[in-house]
Amino acid sequence: MTRLACLIVPMFPLAARLRSEPELLSEALAIVEGNGNNAHVVAATRRARKKGIHAGLSLAQSRSIMPKLIARGRDAECERTAQEALLEVAETFSPRIEDASDGVIFVDISGTERHFPSERDLAAAAIRACDGIGLPARCGIASSKLAARIAAELPQSPTIVDRGGEAEFLAPLPLVRLSPQLDTAATLQRWGLTSIGELAQLPESEVATRLGELGRELHYAARGIDPRPLIPRALPPDFREGMDLEWPLVALDPFLFIANAALDRLTKRLEIQGFACRRLEMTLTLEPDGYDARAIDLPAPTRDVKTMLTLIRLDLEKKAPGAPVMGFAFVAIPDRPRRAQLSLFGPSALSPEKLATTIARLISMLGEDRVGMPRTVDGHLPDRYAIGAYNPPPPPDLSRPPKKSRGLVAARVFRPPLPIEVVRNDEAFVAIKSDGDINGDVRVSSGPWEAEEGGWKETPNFRQYWDVELEKGTYRIYQNDGWFADARYD
């Protein structure tokens, strides 16, 4: 028999808002829907409820009761991301889950008996996991969706309905629990029915004759029969977090403060699924209208918030949005974090995730062209070089001895080459002068050696090189529209 768990987040619009702005938890806050005179409360915090604010009151009525009430509009972005976060938590318990509605999720827990000592432990773990992402949830477990949902709605969470005990569980509950929007409630009350059990005791055909198909379904539900199957949802291709702001932001630091919290939530969700962020897409809603969309490619999948935040800062500093920001959304394109194979007898391998994070932070600190793998370049001029992405091969399985060094003299290349003044006597060098510390009489020199690149061009790069020994060092110099020192032998 299939066993289903239902996770419900009571007052979901409020819970979603508090997940984004947890500092409002202790305030008198009301979530309102609608504008102007039509604005009405849909949910309120405990402090506001204690003063008499409840769902259905207009904002004007609420303010007359409590002038200092903080009102926030429903935030579709917040609610969507909270729902996604809830789904992802549910997916850590079972791959078969159904997205029923805002703040309501069904989880097929059949086959999870070996992972938890009891269903109550599973339900408690699910509640704890929801708390971990900032969503206070209730949980009910039963053999049908209806019973599981009603069990989850009860205040004493978690509620476990025994296998086959659905009818018995439902019997004492009031009829309104079957469906809050029950149109036939008044009719049933006129019949003198108050509990679900009383409806279940009536003959099915009689109820169907009087109330039609709806009556038959109600009777089934009252007997704990719910033939609706679980409809599993497909895995989303990306992870999204964002929110609409109460007022437009014009400075970078306040935006980064809010973005930090959103990225923190995003990475927690990625971690739950065993993913890391490979590419971060950012959409800014601008005032009065318009969007600014941009994407940041990460060197390797990472979950490091600091790195992502630094890259966002650099991106925004490089190209400002050009208008105040009214809202934002981050979309993380997930990828599996790279894993290193530990070696017992060879050199230790670098952690790919740690390496990617460090390289991203170094790039954000120094610039993209200043961190990478050195590469040789075909050519003739000695100062040529290239730098590429650092992606080292795995270390050898067994330690091996290093190759014997050839003991080559290294040339410290000057980038850019330093202009110098050369004093010559006939063909011999006499002295070298410069604004820096390349000064002195030439002791020994050798050359010239000719090097040319771009011979097919109209003006090929042709240079004549010499090695010169001064009292304070040995240099490589060349002539090409002037004299330059491009390396010191060191």
Partner 1 sequence: MSATELIRALDKQRRDELLPTTLEPLDALLGGGLPRGKIVELAGRRSAGRFSIVLAALAAATSAGEAAVLVDLGDHLDPQILEANGADLSRLLWIRPQTMKDAVHAVEMIAATGFQLVVLDAGLHPIRGKRVAEASWVRLARTAEAQGTAMLISTPYPMTGTASEIVLNAQRVRPKWTGSGKSPRVLAGMTVDIAVTKHRHEKEGRSARLEFVTLEAATR
Identity of the residue, 383 or 453, whose beta carbon is nearer to partner 1 in the bound complex: 383
Q: Which residues bind partner 1 (CB under 8 A)?
A: 342, 344-348, 350-351, 354-355, 358-359, 361-362, 365-366, 370-377, 382-387, 390-393, 395-396, 399-415, 437, 444-446, 467, 469, 472-474, 487-490
Identity of the residue, 291 or 449, whose beta carbon is nearer to partner 1 in the bound complex: 449
Please state the closest distance from residue 308 (CB atom) to partner 1, in A.
Answer: 16
Please state the closest distance from residue 354 (CB atom) to partner 1, in A.
Answer: 5
Joined tokens for residue 158: 């978690």
Please state the closest distance from residue 361 (CB atom) to partner 1, in A.
Answer: 6
> Do 245 and 258 form a contact (C-beta atoms < 8 A)?
yes
Dihedral over Cα of 274, 276, 281, 282: its sign: positive
Identity of the residue, 92 or 474, whose beta carbon is nearer to partner 1 in the bound complex: 474
Measure Cα distances from 323 to 64, 246, 249, 289, 368 in Å.
37, 16, 9, 9, 27
DSSP code for 144: S
Joined tokens for residue 376: 């040789």
Identity of the residue, 166 or 304, whose beta carbon is nearer to partner 1 in the bound complex: 304
Identity of the residue, 1 or 408, whose beta carbon is nearer to partner 1 in the bound complex: 408
Strand 70-73 relative to strand 29-33, pairing: parallel
Please state the closest distance from residue 451 (CB atom) to partner 1, in A.
Answer: 13
Angle between helices 12-20 and 252-272 (to 10 degrees): 120
Identity of the residue, 186 or 408, whose beta carbon is nearer to partner 1 in the bound complex: 408
> Do 123 and 141 form a contact (C-beta atoms < 8 A)?
yes
Please state the closest distance from residue 253 (CB atom) to partner 1, in A.
Answer: 22
Q: Which of 421, 99, 89 is nearest to 231 (CA)?
A: 99
Please state the closest distance from residue 488 (CB atom) to partner 1, in A.
Answer: 6
Dihedral over Cα of 306, 310, 311, 313: its sign: positive
Measured CA to CA, the distance from residue 128 to residue 137 in angstroms comes to 9
Measured CA to CA, the distance from residue 300 to residue 352 in angstroms comes to 8
Identity of the residue, 227 or 374, whose beta carbon is nearer to partner 1 in the bound complex: 374
Q: Which helix (H) or strand (E) holds 462?
A: strand 461-470
Please state the closest distance from residue 485 (CB atom) to partner 1, in A.
Answer: 12
Identity of the residue, 322 or 407, whose beta carbon is nearer to partner 1 in the bound complex: 407
Identity of the residue, 112 or 461, whose beta carbon is nearer to partner 1 in the bound complex: 461
Dihedral over Cα of 415, 421, 425, 427: its sign: positive
Please state the closest distance from residue 120 (CB atom) to partner 1, in A.
Answer: 35
Measure Cα distances from 175 to 157, 160, 161, 166, 183 in Å.
20, 20, 18, 15, 11
Please state the closest distance from residue 277 (CB atom) to partner 1, in A.
Answer: 19
CA–CA–CA angle 51, 177, 112 (5° rounding): 105
